[in-house]
């Protein structure tokens, strides 16, 4: 990882639109202390080449426990332009979503900078029905708390989280007839969010 991020930051760090996510979804067996140890090795390698662009660090339990990161954030040696990621999938029991938002509010109130680098309109497997109701609750929460968020995923693998139907090509990305139910929902949100009349 050190070699990889050294190479990436030395090549692309001069561009202001680069974001580094250095640890995607630490699994349930990885402790926060281990994640911190890893970050303390990788962050200096990036900062040697790129002192300013945003670095995002995964949080425990597949990047769902921002509350743990809020209790024990990295110190000022590493915290310049550092954010912590939250991942969520909307099609879970409403009580679970409520709990997730509660611990996220806890982290926000403790001053933790959060970037939602992955969310889904379906369940955590990337499949299952799209939950418009729970997704909208999350969008309302994210917007209220000024959280940036990225939807999973622009692909054609045939899961319900896929933005494109199977068989679509790169040329079809802007054509709504190739969009899945999830993509239609997300595109509708973006149209409203940015007051766009057309995505094509």
**What are the residues facing 57 on neighbouring strands?**
84
CA distance 96 to 109: 20
Catalytic residue chosen out of the listed positions 21, 50, 67, 118:
118
Catalytic residue chosen out of the listed positions 21, 25, 67, 134:
25
Question: What are the DSSP E strand ranges found in the chain?
Answer: 20-21, 55-57, 82-89, 114-120, 149-151
Helix/strand/coil for 165: coil
* Six-digit token string for 172: 């079809």
CA distance 64 to 135: 16
Nearest alpha-carbon partner for 120 in 160, 176, 84 = 160
Question: What are the DSSP E strand ranges found in 35-194?
Answer: 55-57, 82-89, 114-120, 149-151
Answer yes or no: 134 catalytic: no
* Six-digit token string for 161: 């989280």
State the helix-helix crossing angle for 32-47 and 2-12, rounded to 10 degrees: 40
* Six-digit token string for 33: 């202390």
Answer yes or no: 118 catalytic: yes
- State the number of CA atoms in the 13 A half-sphere of 134 facing the CB: 23
Residues annotated catalytic, as ranges: 25, 118
């Amino acid at each position: 990882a050190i070699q990889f991020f050294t190479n990436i930051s030395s090549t692309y760090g001069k561009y202001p639109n680069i974001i580094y996510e250095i640890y995607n979804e630490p699994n349930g067996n990885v402790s926060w202390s281990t994640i911190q140890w890893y970050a303390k090795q990788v962050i200096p390698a990036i900062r040697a080449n790129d002192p300013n662009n945003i670095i995002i660090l995964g949080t425990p339990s597949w990047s769902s426990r921002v509350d743990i990161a809020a209790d024990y954030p990295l110190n000022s040696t590493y915290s310049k332009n550092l954010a912590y990621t939250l991942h969520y999938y909307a099609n879970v029991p409403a009580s679970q979503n409520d709990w997730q938002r509660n611990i996220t509010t806890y982290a926000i109130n403790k001053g933790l900078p959060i970037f939602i680098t992955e969310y889904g309109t379906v369940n955590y497997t990337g499949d299952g029905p799209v939950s418009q109701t729970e997704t909208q609750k999350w969008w309302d929460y994210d917007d209220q708390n000024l959280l940036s968020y990225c939807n999973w995923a622009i692909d054609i693998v045939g899961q319900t989280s896929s933005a494109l139907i199977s068989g679509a090509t790169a040329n079809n990305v802007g054509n709504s007839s190739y969009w899945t139910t999830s993509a239609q929902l997300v595109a509708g949100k973006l149209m409203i969010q940015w007051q766009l009349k057309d995505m094509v």
